Amino acid sequence: MKTKKDIVQSVSEDKVRFISLELTDIVGQVKSIILPVNELPRCLEQGIWFDGSSIEGFARIAESDMYLMPDLDTYAVVPWSTGQERTARLICNVHTPDGERFVGDPRYVLSRTLSEAKELGYIFQTGPELEFFLFEPDQNGGMQPLQPHDQAGYFDVPTDLAIPIKREMVTALQAFGIQVEAAHHEVASGQHEIDFRYSDALRTADNAVTFRTTLKAVAQRNGLHATFMPKPISGINGSGMHTHMSLSDKKTGQNAFADPEDKYGLSDIAKHFIAGLLAHAKGMCAVLAPLVNSYKRLVPGYEAPVYLSWARVNRSALIRVPHAKVAEATRVELRCPDPSCNPYLAFAVMLSAGMDGVRRKLPVPAPKEENLYDLDAQKRNGLISLPGSLKEALDELEKDKVIRQALGEHVYRRFYHAKLQEWDEYRIQVTPWELGKYLAIY
């Protein structure tokens, strides 16, 4: 772990002139306060005060005073800052005036949930896979109609025009200390994926937030727009954030999900964890797929899950168990999250759902290896579906005590009402589809 002395020395060696203190609001948007470097010693000792009432979901005017304390292990020089603008980034924890961690800070929500799992003897590890689109703005900077940057397909090379841009993105991510494993073109035109190293959930949540801001910045510097919107274009694949996860034993470090003697290589703990994810899938869906637009991705036919099920090779299932060459690589993959979610809250509810299954020793149902979209209507009637809209997801969240408890009452209330307001704004809109469908004939 880095010390205050380490940070001061790094700032000097890196010739940093400014410090960017970063946090996220409840919907996962990054906020920052910029300090001149001479203010760093005071920041490291006392923190930096700010008005929490201005941050989405934080506090009311009467309780607005809060301060930021940097997590020293998140220090990194912003790779596109140079010369007199050279800036270092520190991700911060939010505190109340009495020195306590603020219950509305998404990073605290995840930290608290991880601590609860650790008390039971487990370390939670995750590996999110964030997909994104690159679009070309028009000559005026507008985005309508949407113009994908290329017309390439899955793993294509000659027609993937973004290869040099992805190399630049990988270099920038590495400058932030993110260990990138691979980058490739995805199924849809203009769609891509860059994967980074599996690790403990707090680190990967930090990395996911940094990932989004970094890719947007690099795209902008290349005259493009990167979006993590789940379904920007109808009729083609949307963007997911498939999340691989496992528990490791706190004492031995061994993978608690692995059992080489089992048909699927899964321990009883892993099966209970899967059962917990399935039991709370509907309740946590609003957190994992938090936009009105998210539910236009979660439809049959585009490799996005709709039904509550698990399997090994079936990509229409909600949970997949990827093949593991060695026991330590045993994990489960949850396929409904999308990259618009707040990673801190998403990982917190996933862990809470899975651990509820472990605590209660919930039995896992039989796997569904057939393509669920190809089943006839009668067979599909026996399957339970994810919510079909943001409003349905919010109704399920309201009923799920485990997921509400994972968020904490403060975050739950503010998240719920922010998203309900978003739904209400959407449902009163008159869309171009409605005008085209109805105007001429009614």
What's the confidence (pLDDT) of residue 95? Answer: 94
Active site residue 186: yes
Query: Nearest 5°: CA angle at 87, between 86 and 93?
Result: 175
Helix, coil or strand: residue 157: coil
Query: Nearest 5°: CA angle at 34, between 29 and 40?
Result: 125
Q: What are the pLDDT digits (tens) for 97-146?
A: 999 999 999 999 999 999 999 999 999 999 999 999 999 988 777 877 88
Residues found in the chain: 442
Q: How confident is the model at residue 299 (pLDDT cuts 50, 70, 90)?
A: confident
Q: Which of 22, 105, 150, 193 is catalytic?
A: 193
Active site residue 193: yes
Active site residue 333: yes
Q: How confident is the model at residue 30 (pLDDT cuts 50, 70, 90)?
A: very high
Active site residue 73: no
Does 4-101 match 111-433 in CATH topology?
no
Q: How confident is the model at residue 230 (pLDDT cuts 50, 70, 90)?
A: very high
Q: Which of 186, 206, 338, 396 is catalytic?
A: 186
> Domain extents for the chain?
4-101, 111-433
Q: What are the pLDDT digits (tens) for 153-176?
A: 787 777 888 899 999 999 999 999
Distance CA 381, CA 37 (A): 62
Tell me the helices (H) and strands (E) count for the chain, helix number first.
13, 15
Measured from the Cβ of residue 60, the count of other Cβ atoms closer than 10 Å reads 8
Between residues 80 and 373, which one has the greater pLDDT?
80
| CATH superfamily, domain at 4-101 | Glutamine synthetase, N-terminal domain (3.10.20.70)
Between residues 301 and 12, which one has the greater pLDDT?
12
Q: Is the domain defined by 111-433 classed in CATH 3.40.640.10?
A: no
Active site residue 272: no
Ranking 23-37, 40-54, 112-126, 133-147 by mean pLDDT, the lowest is 133-147
What's the confidence (pLDDT) of residue 62? Answer: 44
CB of 343 closer than 8 Å to CB of 24: no
Characterize the bridge pairing of strands 87-95 and 76-77. antiparallel
Task: List Cβ neighbours of 146 (8 Å cut-off, separation of 6 or more).
Answer: 135, 232, 233
Task: Look at residue 247 and tell me whether its pLDDT is greater than 70.
Answer: yes
Task: List Cβ neighbours of 46 (8 Å cut-off, separation of 6 or more).
Answer: 67
Active site residue 200: no
191: phi then psi, degrees, rounded to nearest 5: -105, 140
For the chain, the average pLDDT equals: 92
CB of 260 closer than 8 Å to CB of 327: yes
Active site residue 116: no
**Residue of 86, 11, 81, 82 lying closest to 44 (CA atoms):** 11
Active site residue 335: yes
**Residue of 169, 173, 6 lying closest to 73 (CA atoms):** 6
Helix, coil or strand: residue 183: strand
Distance CA 287, CA 414 (A): 12
Residue pointed to by tokens 């979006």: 227
Q: Which of 315, 380, 410, 413 is catalytic?
A: 315
Q: Which of 22, 25, 333, 338 is catalytic?
A: 333
Token output for 157: 């090379």
Active site residue 129: yes
pTM of the model: 0.95
Q: How confident is the model at residue 63 (pLDDT cuts 50, 70, 90)?
A: low
Q: What are the pLDDT digits (tens) for 393-425?
A: 999 999 999 999 999 999 999 999 999 999 999
Q: Which of 22, 25, 129, 396 is catalytic?
A: 129
Q: Which of 39, 51, 65, 374 is catalytic?
A: 51
